[in-house]
Amino acid sequence: MRKLAVIELFSLKRVHSFRNIREEEVDFMVKKVFQSALSQSPVDLSKTFFSLTASIICRVALGQNFNESDFVIEQERIEELVNEALLALGSFTCSDLFPGGIGRFLDWLFGGHKKINKVFEELDAFYQHVIDDHLAGKTTVDSTADIVALLLDLMDKQEYKNYFKLNIDNIKGVLMDIFLAGVDTGAITMIWAMTELARNPRVMKKAQEEIRNTLGLKRDRITEEDIDKVDYLKLIIKETFRLHPALPFLLPRETMSHVKIQGYDIPPKTHIQLNVWTIGRDPDRWTDPEDFIPERFTNTCVDFRGQNFELLPFGSGRRVCPGMPMAVATVELALLNLLYFFDWRLPEGMISGEDIDMGEAGNLTIIKKLPLQLVPVQRH
């Protein structure tokens, strides 16, 4: 399944084919922010970014368009479902400590799996509805390219002998991974990036000056072709990944054999947790690790794609996140648009960026506890 995901679902060619979807949804987001700029009212950027990533993922993965078709779940419910599912996945159950019959009995007795079952039954019904629509020939403007259509085609043809035989449950499993990981993590990264920019006016000003001087002041639309023209934005995103990885712990690994690490004996089949949040703030690896300084990545080869172990927001090796190219493209394009078209100021009652609450919440993913509210100011 991983081979299928890397080669078929998230290859660079496939990610590029979704470019028009990302650009259209970012354009739609910019138009909504323009409305707030006209009235000088604060924008809930936390909600804005979740709506953006949910819209993109639903079009790319499900062939469902929030803005052009009757959607089976309200957009607000999408964010709620993702949060409920991640909280359920990250919560402790007795089965985690006592695998087997005893753990399952205790979970049944204390209702440990009740919340998990409830949210996943709703998600399962959602995925089944989307699959049924595809099988019935109900298409949307994007459905010929979406991931559900591709997987159903692979299941029907079964041309790839190196892959296991696909079935509907496998497709739902892929959709679960894409849906939960794709909607949440991208939005979280953008929220923290804009939060840090609001708290660091010097960085915000420098980024906007570079973007506007490079792209010109009379652009009506920013596209993905413009991303590689602005270097400082990429440094900002790297620094955001360092300070605020969406997943503070990577998905668990398991030791294949006995290993000794710094005098400790680690037996086979031990679950290993990698704390990338701590690695990103390690004073032995970073100068002034608690400060937001994108310039630290100038003239350095350190990147977030898994080759440098001091910066691992997407993991590394065979288990690196296959959706990384898609996530990065969305984050870069959205931030580029918001920094080009708008100046940003704090809402009434806040004097400086230090007044922004930096409290965190969550378990599997770590989000800003209080929504980020900023006032957009139309640049021209």
Annotated binding site for heme: 321
DSSP string, 81-104: HHHHHHHHHHS--HHHHSTTHHHH
CA-CA-CA-CA torsion for 343, 345, 347, 353, nearest 10 degrees?
A: 140
DSSP state of 250: P
Q: How many residues does the chain have?
A: 380
Q: How many CB atoms lie within 10 A of CB 181?
A: 22
Helix-helix angle 114-135:75-90, to 10 degrees: 130
> What is the three-class DSSP state of 203?
helix
- The residue type found at 28 is F
Q: Which residues are annotated as a binding site?
A: 321
- What's 110-156 look like in SS3? HCCCHHHHHHHHHHHHHHHHHHHHHHCCCCCCCCCCCHHHHHHHHHH
Report the C-alpha gap between 168 and 161 in whole angstroms.
Answer: 18
Alpha carbon 333 to its chain centroid, in Å, reads 14
User: Which pair of structure tokens corresponds to residue 210?
Assistant: 């570079």
